[in-house]
Chains A and B, each alone.
Chain A
């Protein structure tokens, strides 16, 4: 349909143009606005703030109960102060997760979303003034446990880390492609349980991820036994070094899926055409 020949007047709306002599004009406005541009603008502001302070921000996503908070606890203990960490916790209710992090002497702020199934850039922006960004190396944002919605909202973070615990199905990347396609790394958690859960195959999980055309690194970690912690901390340190190198050139970092989206849909900016049509 175009804006010039009247082909935007359909059987469904034609009556509105000639309804009992009331004279209304139908105007078709073509736009290419991203539906989440308001969120995305706040996300860019958040990212600019993180970048001014050189804080690497990682968005942690997974199903509920995949071990996100346990991974953070194990990470904080293993780092033993080598990096300055802060955590934002997103849950529907309770301060429980933030309390677990604070018990380790690390700054943690809880966002309770009520009924909302995800964090968004505005919710994150509200807690940022509470953080001492100048004295943080890595900020983890633990998103609401949910494999669907969090992937759609840019928070202003730099990297997506998606957890898949071995108590879930190894075909989760195939079932939740939007979430797993967004992962800059997929971390298979609770690997200490693999011995009793022979139906979960890390190889099958990785094969499902590769089918999404993802080259994200796959890590295997047990927060309980410490297995795989070294590889995970290596990944974290390498990403931090990469981020700092980019910052030295005044560049930043976005999750791979977002950079690709921008290249593909860079056109998705307001492009309003206006052509009045008389009834």
Chain B
């Protein structure tokens, strides 16, 4: 259950962004979570309920976009979707593939509310 540690870093980053934009509060946070990142979006959302208390993100909504693994085969050049526990090339079954996407853990977007002038 390391989602709480991840959330603490998330809150730190969001607070810094909110501060630098003079935001009153945070409305929405959008994350991109790869299914090979080691983080479960569901657990992250539960941890976020706790981590946001008393912060500028206290009333924020958390949206997670799950990113499935995609690979590029170094042997035949094919790019394709892959399963988390089978990253072989689906065409030539080669194991020499590079993961293109699917292991990321990224803060992609923050929507802030500011008092209008």
Contact = CB atoms under 8 A, between A and B. Distances in A.
Interface of A: 1, 8, 12-13, 16, 23-39, 116-118, 120, 148-149, 151-153, 173-175, 177-179, 181, 208, 210-215, 257, 260-261, 264-265, 268, 272, 274, 276, 278-279
Contacts of A116: 2, 5
B56 to A, nearest CB: 13
A32 B106 contact: yes
A265 B104 contact: yes
Given A152-B2, A181-B36, A25 B9 contact: no
Nearest to A152: B38
Contacts of A32: 106-108
A152 B39 contact: yes
Consensus secondary structure, chain A interface: mixed
A148 B6 CA distance: 14
A211 B95 contact: yes
A8 B104 CA distance: 23
Given A214-B95, A268-B106, A272-B20, 11 more contacts: A16-B113, A27-B111, A29-B21, A29-B111, A31-B17, A31-B109, A31-B110, A35-B13, A173-B85, A213-B87, A257-B103
Nearest to B27: A13
A174 B84 CA distance: 8
Given A29-B110, A274-B21, A24 B115 contact: yes
Given A211-B88, A268-B104, A148 B38 contact: yes
A180 B111 CA distance: 36
Query: Which of A13, A208, A212, A265 has most B Cβ within 10 Å?
Result: A212
Contact of B97 (A16, A25, A152, A213): A213
A212 B71 CA distance: 11
Interface residues of B, number: 48
Interface in B13-43: 13, 17, 20-21, 23-24, 27-28, 31, 36-39
Contacts of A151: 38
Contact of A177 (B10, B24, B84, B96): B84
A29 B84 CA distance: 31
B40 to A, nearest CB: 9
11 contacts: A12-B61, A13-B28, A24-B114, A26-B114, A29-B111, A35-B10, A36-B105, A118-B5, A178-B38, A211-B87, A264-B103
A8 B111 contact: yes
A274 B22 CA distance: 12
B57 interface: no
B112 A35 contact: no
Contacts of A274: 21
Contact of B27 (A26, A213, A257): A26
A38 B9 contact: yes
Contacts of B91: none
A212 B1 CA distance: 23
A54 B83 CA distance: 39
Contacts of A257: 103
B116 interface: yes
